[in-house]
Amino acid sequence: MRILFIGGTGLISTAVSKLAIKEDYELYVLNRGNNNEVLSSKTKFLIGDMNNEESIKELIKDFHFDVVVQWIAYNVEQVKRDYRIFKGKTYQYVFISSASAYMKPIPKYPITEDVPLGNEYWEYSDNKRLCEEYLTTVNSSEFNVTVIRPSHTYNDEKVVAVIKSWGAPYTIIDRLLKGKKIIIPGDGTSLWTLTYNVDFAQAFIKVLGNHRTYGEAYHITSDFVYTWERINEILCENLGVTSNIIHIPSDFIIKHAPFLEGELLGDKHWSLIFDNSKIKSIAPNYKSTTSYEEIAPSALKRILENKNLQKVDEKFNFWYDNIIVEFLKLH
């Protein structure tokens, strides 16, 4: 089976790419070539810029793919472009959406694929909804669309925290080592699902070329559910430090850091517990086997043993500490 990944070197897609090669699929990866060294030498690379539609059409003019997986589309114009490029060039188009696109507040638990989409708090998530809605209109026997909605997925290098500096993950580690306060939104009892990328890949691979998945949407998550307090404790246990948590309501946090509205009210504020029955109906042997307790030690070790990764984001610390100061003034 000939498969094309658009992207292919991200946190989730790298794990899937490696498994696809292991399963002897003929894997092509189309991207700008900036990080392809993370992939197998058996991967076939097409170097190009998806924003240059005509050059991509020229690049793939002699190809036909059984499956095209779009890992890096975030708005309707991008999936419309994909339809123009790949109509007649593939049997199946797999769009990577997001489980954050489900309606907030969550209307029922556990979350199933029939929960309506609609996240008014986060533009990223609502754009994914709009992409899905457009793709529904072009789904056909000549262009079969499958939608995949990952939730919070991590790899061997991922330090998980409810609020963190994306550019400098060591910042939270540094706060923990120094005994500084760590903000947990709300009362800390909301439940959060974490999925290891290698586990995710085991289910995802069963979607490729599977006629039963045409015209369907699936979320792929694990059965490992944590409170944000427990996730923080896992880091503390591995660092040999005592947790110093302060609970602050999400609304108060957003008042002082409005850029967090999408990430919190659009996602992490709510309990996220998923029913994976639908994906297991096509991947009956899928079972998430890896817990964050198993991965956190290696993720922390990698950063603690590499000085180049130990950057502290002082701008992050400034506004983070300011939220704590302002909250303590009232309590």
So what's the pLDDT on residue 99? 97
Domain 170-194+223-272+289-329: which CATH class? Answer: alpha beta
Domain 2-153+197-220 has CATH 1.10.3210.50: no
Q: How many residues would you count in the chain?
A: 331
pLDDT band at 38, cuts 50/70/90?
Answer: confident
Percentage of the residues of the chain whose pLDDT score is greater than 90: 92
250-292 confidence digits (pLDDT tens): 999 999 999 999 999 999 999 999 999 999 999 999 999 999 9
Q: Is the peptide bond before 169 cis (omega within 30 degrees of 0)?
A: no
pLDDT reported for residue 36: 79
Residue 185: strand, helix, or coil: strand
Q: Are 169 and 311 in contact (CB under 8 A)?
A: no
Per-residue pLDDT of 286-319, as tens digits, reads 999 999 999 999 999 999 999 999 999 999 999 9
Predicted pLDDT of residue 73? 97
Name the average pLDDT for the chain: 95
pLDDT of residue 188: 81
Question: Would you state the pLDDT for residue 233?
Answer: 97
Q: Is the confidence at residue 199, as pLDDT, over 80?
A: yes
105-161 pLDDT, tens digit each? 999 999 999 999 999 999 999 999 999 999 999 999 999 999 999 999 999 999 999
Q: Which of 218, 327, 228 is nearest to 268 (CA)?
A: 228
Range from 55-59, 184-188, 313-317 carrying the lowest mean pLDDT: 184-188
For residue 37, is pLDDT > 90?
no
Domain-by-domain residue ranges, the chain? 2-153+197-220, 170-194+223-272+289-329
Specify which residues 3 forms β-bridges with.
27, 67
Q: How far is CA 114 from each of CA 103, 140, 211, rounded to the nearest angstrom?
A: 11, 21, 20
List the beta bridge partners of residue 27: 3
Give me the pLDDT at residue 103, please. Answer: 96
State residue 35's pLDDT score.
76
Q: What is the Cα–Cα distance from 264 to 186, expressed in whole angstroms? A: 10
What CA–CA distance (Å, rounded) separates 115 from 83?
26
Mean pLDDT of 64-78: 98
With bands split at pLDDT 50, 70 and 90, how would you rate the model's confidence at 170?
very high
Between residues 35 and 174, the one the model is more confident about = 174
Rounded Cα distance between 180 and 178, Å, is: 6
User: In percent, how much of the chain has pLDDT > 70?
Assistant: 100
Q: Which two tokens stand for residue 190?
A: 């909301």
* pLDDT over 90 at 1, yes or no: yes
- DSSP line for 111-157: B-TTSPB--TT-HHHHHHHHHHHHHHHH--SSSEEEEEEE-SEE-TT
Q: What's residue 34's pLDDT?
A: 79
